[in-house]
Amino acid sequence: MSKQRLNLKTVSTLAAGITVPNYDRSAVTAGIVHLGIGAFHRAHMAVYVDDLLSKDPSWGIVGASLRRPDTKDALEPQDGLYTIAVRDAAGTHPRVIGSILKVMDANTERDALLDLMASPEVRIVSLTVTEKGYCYEPSTGELDLNHADIQHDLSNPSAPKSAPGMLVEALARRKAAGIAPFTVMSCDNLPNNGQTAKRIVTAFAAKRDADLGEWVKGVAFPSTMVDRIVPSTTDADREEVASLIGAEDAWPIMTEPFTQWVIEDNFPSGRPAFEEVGAQLVQDVEPFEHMKLRMLNGSHSTMAYAGYLGGYEYIAEVVGDEDYRELVHGLMTEEVIPTLDMPGVDLEAYRDQLLARFANPALKHRTWQIAMDGSQKLPQRLLGTIRDRLAAGQSIDRLALGVAAWMRYVMAIDEEGNEIDVRDPLALKLLAIAADAGEDPEAYFNGLVSIQSIFGTDLIDNEVFRNAVLEQLWSFWQDGAHETVANYQLSAQE
Ligand code: CS2
């Protein structure tokens, strides 16, 4: 029997004990437009906002998708309501979130969306557009003027496709109407995400028109560090949530109990009282971003590539393998923690908490999901740490293993000879390099390390980096992932 659909009419009839919005939804107005309304936003910022709407209903969210309309299709019949289902060893705990008032498809509703972004009641435009949405060079963080979407948006400024193009057009409309700018809040996993967003948006604006470029320099771009693990939703998850809540939800969001949000307190146009709902408001987010990107995401990417190649589907299985666990423990303890400057923070405790989060057996976080877009992720997750350690004359063996695992993974053939579905904006280029190199790991290494958008211009000539990564790459090539992970210390000691 098919169940009723989750929406404003049915929300009061859900199974007993399900937490639902505790505010009058009809009184909530839009104060935030969020670009990139994917699963991460719905498990993170939208939950913090849901927690504060009973005190201040002027901060509802209108979400926008820049690429696919799938979130709009799922949430429109549900009046924007959806479930987050928190998973731990004790079970799955659903809660209905109401902070997303509606979802707009930037492709079909572009003008209406830009007008909304330009309206005075919208005071924050937040972003989770993923690394590639910034249309930048990952190694330098500079706007990529050759990017097809940037070229399109410079020629068609009032009908933009890219996130920088949308932000600048909305800001231009505000400027023309004499309305103060909104604050741009990046919630992506980039170091200095506020500064990065600012660099890209101001560069794009200045390219459009010098006056606009100057005006945009006055916009606030607070940095934030965001953290919550959000595996993709499966059909089995949908069924479980439907039976728990007593209604169909086309797109529930599965997540872990842990959540963290550190925000730079720089909102000249006003902000919700995020500190009252668990966020940390600080003056400088950068140390937190380094900590999270290098510890959590650096470990994640290493486990994703080496784990996938070792035949593991989920992160919990990877850390369940003693050799992998020891690798990641050693990576964080010996190679990452010494690069971090976090007075007053117990980094060993943070590491142990991460290992426990990775081991959450209920979470089902796919190695393949984390493996996506490695060309965009490697610089901030592994290469920054490597540079700091090389500069200090310190060893990089485990970090090099992570880089080598990525190199082996993007050959797109697994250890059984099966194809790997490599999702990456540079996938074709990576494949061409593998094809040219044939059976020669050194030629393959040389080809990859010459991609400046990933490796910059310095690492190609660094002997320590070359030797360390090549050694691990040889080992992946000849002995496979399990042996490489089990033996990295032996080879490092020789
Ligand atoms: C993961 C992150 O998919 C990935 O690349 O490393 O999304 C990770 O789960 C989050 O950053 C956790 O906050």
Write the pLDDT tens digit of every residue in 359-404: 999 999 999 999 999 999 999 999 999 999 999 999 999 999 999 9
Q: Which residue puts its alpha carbon closest to atom 1 of ligand 1?
A: 370
Percent pLDDT > 90 in the chain is 95
First to last CA, the chain: 65
CA of 370 to the centre of ligand 1 (A): 7
Ligand 1 and 370: CB distance under 6 A: yes
What distance in Å separates the CA atoms of residue 344 and residue 346, rounded to the nearest whole number?
A: 7
- Residues in the chain predicted with pLDDT less than 50, given as ranges, are 1, 491-494
Query: Parallel, antiparallel, or unpaired: how do β-strands 260-264 and 224-227 relate?
Result: antiparallel
Q: Which residue puts its alpha carbon closest to atom 3 of ligand 1?
A: 370
CA of 1 to the centre of ligand 1 (A): 37
What predicted TM-score, i.e. pTM, was given to this entire model? 0.95
Ligand 1 and 369: CB distance under 6 A: yes
Query: Quick count: other Cβ atoms within 10 Å of Cβ 424?
Result: 21
In the Cβ-directed half-sphere of 176, how many Cα atoms lie within 13 Å? 8
What is the atom index within ligand 1 of the atom nearest the CA of 230? 9
Question: Could you tell me the CA-to-CA distances from 358 to 6, 67, 137, 272, 323 in Å, in that order?
Answer: 31, 30, 30, 31, 15
Q: Which residue puts its alpha carbon closest to atom 9 of ligand 1?
A: 229
DSSP 6: P
The pLDDT of residue 191 is 86
What is the atom index within ligand 1 of the atom nearest the CA of 365? 9
Ligand 1 and 300: CB distance under 6 A: yes
CA of 206 to the centre of ligand 1 (A): 33
Residues near 163 by beta carbon (within 8 Å), at least 6 away in sequence: 35, 36, 66, 127, 129, 133, 134, 135
Among 299, 300, 381, say which to mutate for ligand 1: greatest number of ligand atoms within 8 Å of CB.
Answer: 300
The pLDDT of residue 3 is 85
What is the atom index within ligand 1 of the atom nearest the CA of 260? 13
CA of 293 to the centre of ligand 1 (A): 9
The pLDDT of residue 494 is 41
DSSP letters spanning 305-336 = HHHHHTT--BHHHHHHSHHHHHHHHHIIIIII
The pLDDT of residue 489 is 61
